[in-house]
């Protein structure tokens, strides 16, 4: 896509939604002198920080309304990913002939640096962060952004053409893209998720596929050769790279014996033994290979790649070892918000764990996980709205309900400590398999609260 095609379709945008991505879009548009209007269904009193931020920008803010009247006098619409595209305002904008696209696409249109985008059901954050670490380790300027933390529009002005924007991309962001064409795009996996919003796997997969649809032969598409759902949905004209934990690939990254290997067109480079990775679990082996395939077009120095791989610790809230208390390990996997993430977490431990799970369900079926839960879980401690559904789905495993996360930690600790007597240390794993919104603001708050409760136990141990 040429630079001319990436120009904005007017000077009077409407930004819908005043959360993180909406505020970032408003800021970047206001910096360019556009006449920005922001609307949000919440009252200004409910969003005091956002209201102050918009007032400081000098943009027009409409609070408590998101009906079609807010489109009056607007040239185009920037849509926030937290608002479903089934909202009536989407239809009204399209009926009025107004271009409508996501904050992700706005960032793409304004960026001077190439975009490297990572999508998939599970592993996006770890892979995106590792790609950023590999690029940073080589000395090239890079910003990691998107669904992982900073909005894309927050980062676009910080990188010139010599830098990179490494972006975690969700299906929500892809509901409203039009021109997006990343230089490198990676698809990690596809399992049912967000079915409460997308309805079925076919729709969810079609949204992921949009990331690749406009790629041309000077772009790169990275595919999971081990995932038939991904391989069946390959799209676009980008040159293909692959990653696999099971077999050699023609171009990309794979396992060779006990080592990680990078497969270039002319040679295979053995990088380092898998045992030297700090990341835990087979799923993180796949994430590591995906990151290696993603950076292959950058031709990074092999020594810097080895150095980063051997030292990369992983992300907070993703199989994060918090502490050991009286021989019991506590692991924070709060970012596991779906069944697929919970599955790979359970497969990362040899001995059965005491599992804290539950929260707000997302239209998933928990029953297929019952055999794994039966093998991998010594006891369940269930929280949140989905507790009853999970207990029924996994009826063959002993379970306890907890009214709060603090109570769940205490109950799990007692069970794991009892199990640890005369045996190898037990593990308490927080891997909810559900969204957090019934009890917490987001998975990060849930993970931090879990760590606070573990530290409480740690302090009690120190005083004993």
Residue 147 is a catalytic residue: yes
119 is in an annotated binding site: no
| Angle, alpha carbons 67-177-187 (nearest 5°) | 135
Looking from the CA of 273 toward its CB, the CA atoms found within 13 Å total 3
Pick the catalytic residue from 181, 189, 194, 254: 194
Q: Report d(CA 390, CA 383) in Å as an integer.
A: 10
Q: C-alpha distances in angstroms, 268 versus 251, 255, 297, 321?
A: 9, 11, 15, 34
Q: Report d(CA 289, CA 249) in Å as an integer.
A: 11
Sheet holding 184-187, edge to edge: 142-146, 164-168, 115-119, 184-187, 220-224, 239-244, 252-256, 259-263, 268-273
Residue 194 is a catalytic residue: yes
447 Cβ neighbours under 8 A, 6+ residues apart = 316, 317, 320, 332, 334, 335, 430
Q: Report d(CA 21, CA 80) in Å as an integer.
A: 6
287 is in an annotated binding site: no
Shortest CA distance to 452 belongs to which of 435, 440, 464?
440
Asked whether the beta carbons of 412 and 432 are under 8 A apart, the reply is no
122 is in an annotated binding site: yes
Asked whether the beta carbons of 391 and 399 are under 8 A apart, the reply is yes
Asked whether the beta carbons of 37 and 76 are under 8 A apart, the reply is no
Q: Residue 308 CB: number of other CB atoms within 10 A? A: 19
State which H helix or E strand residue 15 sits in: strand 13-16
State which H helix or E strand residue 389 sits in: helix 387-393
- For residue 435, the 8-state DSSP code is B
Asked whether the beta carbons of 166 and 135 are under 8 A apart, the reply is yes
User: How is residue 131 written in tokens?
Assistant: 């790609």
For the chain, the C-alpha Rg in angstroms (whole number) is: 23
123 is in an annotated binding site: yes
Residue 392 is a catalytic residue: no
397 is in an annotated binding site: no
Q: C-alpha distances in angstroms, 60 versus 55, 57, 213?
A: 8, 9, 35
Question: Could you write out the DSSP letters of every residue in 89-141?
Answer: HHHHHHHTT--EEEHHHHHHHH-SSPEEEEE-SSSHHHHHHHHHHHHHHTT--
User: How is residue 205 written in tokens?
Assistant: 């997969």
Binding-site members for ATP are 120-126
Binding-site members are 120-126
Which sequence positions are flagged as catalytic?
124, 147, 194
């Amino acid at each position: 896509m040429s630079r001319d095609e990436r120009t904005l379709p007017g000077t009077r945008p409407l930004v819908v939604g005043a959360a993180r991505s909406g505020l970032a879009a408003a800021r970047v548009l206001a910096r360019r002198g556009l006449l920005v209007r922001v609307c949000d269904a919440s009252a200004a009193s409910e969003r005091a920080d956002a209201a102050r931020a918009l007032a400081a920008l000098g943009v027009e803010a409409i609070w408590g309304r998101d009906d079609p009247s807010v489109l009056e006098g607007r040239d185009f619409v920037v849509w926030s990913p937290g608002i479903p595209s089934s909202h009536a305002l989407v239809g009204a904008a399209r009926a009025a002939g107004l271009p409508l696209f996501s904050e992700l696409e706005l960032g793409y249109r304004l960026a001077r640096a190439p975009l490297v985008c990572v999508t998939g059901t599970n592993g996006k954050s770890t892979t995106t962060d590792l790609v950023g670490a590999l690029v940073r380790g080589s000395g090239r300027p890079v910003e990691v952004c998107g669904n992982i933390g900073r909005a894309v529009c927050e980062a676009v002005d910080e990188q010139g053409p010599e830098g990179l924007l490494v972006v975690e991309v969700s299906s929500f962001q892809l509901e409203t893209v039009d021109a997006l064409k990343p230089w490198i795009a990676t698809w990690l996996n596809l399992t049912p998720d967000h079915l409460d919003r997308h309805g079925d796997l076919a729709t969810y997969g079609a949204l992921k596929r949009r990331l690749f649809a406009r790629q041309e032969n000077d772009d790169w598409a990275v595919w999971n050769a081990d995932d038939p759902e991904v391989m069946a949905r390959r799209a676009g004209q980008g040159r293909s790279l692959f990653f696999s934990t099971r077999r050699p690939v023609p171009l990309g990254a794979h396992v060779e014996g006990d080592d990680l290997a990078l497969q270039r067109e002319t040679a295979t480079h053995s990088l380092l033994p898998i045992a030297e990775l700090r990341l835990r679990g087979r799923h993180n082996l796949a994430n590591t290979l995906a990151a290696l395939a993603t950076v292959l077009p950058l031709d990074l120095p092999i020594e810097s790649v080895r150095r980063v791989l051997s030292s990369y610790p992983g992300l907070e809230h993703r199989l994060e070892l918090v502490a050991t208390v009286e021989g019991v390990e506590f692991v924070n996997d709060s970012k596991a918000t779906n069944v697929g993430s919970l599955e790979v977490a359970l497969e990362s431990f040899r001995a059965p764990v005491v599992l804290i799970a539950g929260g707000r369900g997302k239209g998933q079926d928990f029953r297929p996980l019952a055999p794994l839960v039966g093998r991998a879980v010594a006891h369940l401690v269930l929280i949140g709205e989905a507790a009853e559904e999970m207990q029924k789905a996994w009826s063959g495993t002993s379970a306890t309900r907890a009214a709060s996360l603090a109570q769940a930690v205490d109950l799990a600790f007692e069970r794991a400590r009892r199990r640890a007597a005369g045996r190898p240390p037990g593990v308490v794993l927080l891997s909810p398999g559900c969204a957090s919104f019934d009890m917490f603001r987001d998975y990060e708050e849930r993970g931090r609260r879990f760590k606070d409760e573990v530290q409480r136990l740690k302090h009690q141990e120190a005083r004993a």
